[in-house]
């Protein structure tokens, strides 16, 4: 059976986190050479991972982004897929969010996406089917309470995705964003912290039409398709992956 990404070169930011790790594993299984770029090799899961070549990368540092892309250039001369999965969450209203917190989340979620995309573009131009896949969120369309800065960053990523798709589509570079809802990652665990986690998870699952929350594998499946030749005509889109959550109005409890 032909592998979907055989021989491709991919770089995944946040590559040792929950979603990023699953993406690296899927990409490798599909025949790609993968760079897992993250702050720590153990990542947010604090556990060892074997998928992908680890690159230490702070996405807010222009110098580190340039160095990472130089490594890819020296070793392969091309980048076929860039996945911007690095991200954090700040749980606060605007009034409760400090300027330092706001600047920090913007730097990682938005500036990081800008920097990696900017310096990946020369390498992506050497690919026959280059693809950038950003991480938006359903919170870029609608809002969960107490996530003001996070929602703002995801709305910015959505707009940046469409702008890059328009600017670089004539070069054959496809740019998309996936927009997850509730997915079982360390970030979701942080959101549930301080509550009866088992009860809250059950409640979260119950509000979805599919009656379940997503998994990192669900995200990796969509990212893999967007990276592949099967998605050659897919660009400039925000692919919502939320188990139907945002398709419904607020449900009454009967």
Query: How confident is the model over 17-37, as pLDDT tens digits?
Result: 999 999 999 999 999 999 999
CA pair distance 237, 178, nearest whole angstrom:
8
CATH number of the structural domain spanning residue 106: 3.40.50.720
The number of beta carbons lying within 10 Å of the beta carbon of residue 43 is 21
Residue 230: closest CA among 64, 66, 30, 82: 30
Q: Per the domain annotation, does 209 fall within a domain?
A: no
Please tell me which residue in 119, 138, 150, 182 is annotated as part of the active site: 150
Known catalytic membership, residue 150: yes
pLDDT at 194 over 80: no
**What is the phi/psi pair of residue 205, to 5°?**
-65, -40
pLDDT of residue 254 exceeding 50: no
Q: Is residue 180 part of a domain?
A: yes
Give the rounded percent of residues in the chain with a pLDDT score beyond 70.
Answer: 93
CA gap 108, 95 in Å, rounded = 21
Residues 6+ apart with CB under 8 A from 217: 22, 26
Q: Has residue 114 been placed in a domain?
A: yes
Position 198 in a domain: no
Q: Of the candidates 207, 191, 202, which has an alpha carbon nearest to the alpha carbon of residue 249?
A: 207
Q: Is 196 within a domain?
A: no
pLDDT of residue 207: 87
3-class state of residue 39 by DSSP: coil
For 71-119, the pLDDT digits (tens) are 999 999 999 999 999 999 999 999 999 999 999 999 999 999 999 999 9
Instruction: Give yes or no for residue 201 having a pLDDT over 90.
Output: no
As for how many domains the chain has, the answer is: 1
Residue 61 makes CB contacts below 8 A (sequence gap 6+) with none
User: Could you report the per-residue pLDDT of 202-231, keeping only the tens digit for each?
Assistant: 888 888 999 999 999 999 999 999 999 999
The answer to whether position 205 is within a domain reads: no
Residues 6+ away with beta carbon under 8 Å from 242: 138, 179, 180, 181, 182, 208, 214
SS3 readout for 122-141: HHHCCCCCCEEEEECCHHHC
Q: What is the pLDDT of residues 123-161, one digit of tens each?
A: 999 999 999 999 999 999 999 999 999 999 999 999 999
pTM across the whole model: 0.94
With respect to residue 2, please indicate whether it lies within any of the assigned structural domains: no
Reported confidence tier of residue 199, pLDDT bands at 50, 70, 90: confident
State the pLDDT at residue 230: 97
In a domain, 248, yes or no: no
Domain containing residue 89: 9-186+216-237
């Amino acid at each position: 059976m032909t592998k979907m990404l055989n021989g491709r070169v991919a770089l995944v930011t946040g590559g040792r986190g929950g979603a990023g790790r699953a993406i690296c594993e899927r990409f490798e299984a599909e025949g790609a050479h993968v760079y897992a770029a993250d702050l720590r090799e153990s990542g947010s899961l604090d556990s060892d991972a074997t998928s992908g070549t680890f690159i230490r990368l702070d996405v807010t540092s222009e110098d580190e982004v340039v160095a990472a892309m130089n490594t890819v250039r020296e070793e392969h001369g091309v980048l076929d897929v860039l996945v911007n999965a690095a991200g954090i969450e700040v749980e606060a209203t605007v009034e409760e969010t400090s300027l330092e917190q706001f600047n920090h989340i913007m730097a990682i979620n938005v500036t990081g996406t800008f920097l990696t995309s900017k310096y990946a573009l020369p390498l992506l131009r050497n690919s026959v089917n280059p693809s950038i896949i950003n991480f938006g969120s359903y919170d870029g369309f609608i809002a969960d309470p107490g996530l003001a800065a996070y929602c703002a960053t995801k709305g910015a990523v959505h707009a940046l995705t469409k702008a890059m798709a328009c600017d670089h589509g004539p070069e054959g570079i496809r740019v998309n964003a996936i927009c997850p809802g509730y997915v079982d990652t360390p970030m979701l665990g942080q959101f549930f912290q301080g509550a009866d986690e088992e009860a809250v998870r059950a409640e979260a699952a119950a509000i979805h039409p599919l009656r379940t929350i997503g998994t990192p594998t669900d995200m990796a499946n969509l990212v893999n398709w967007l990276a592949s030749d099967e998605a050659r005509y897919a660009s400039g889109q925000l692919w919502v992956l939320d188990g139907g959550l945002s398709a419904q109005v607020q449900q009454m409890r009967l």
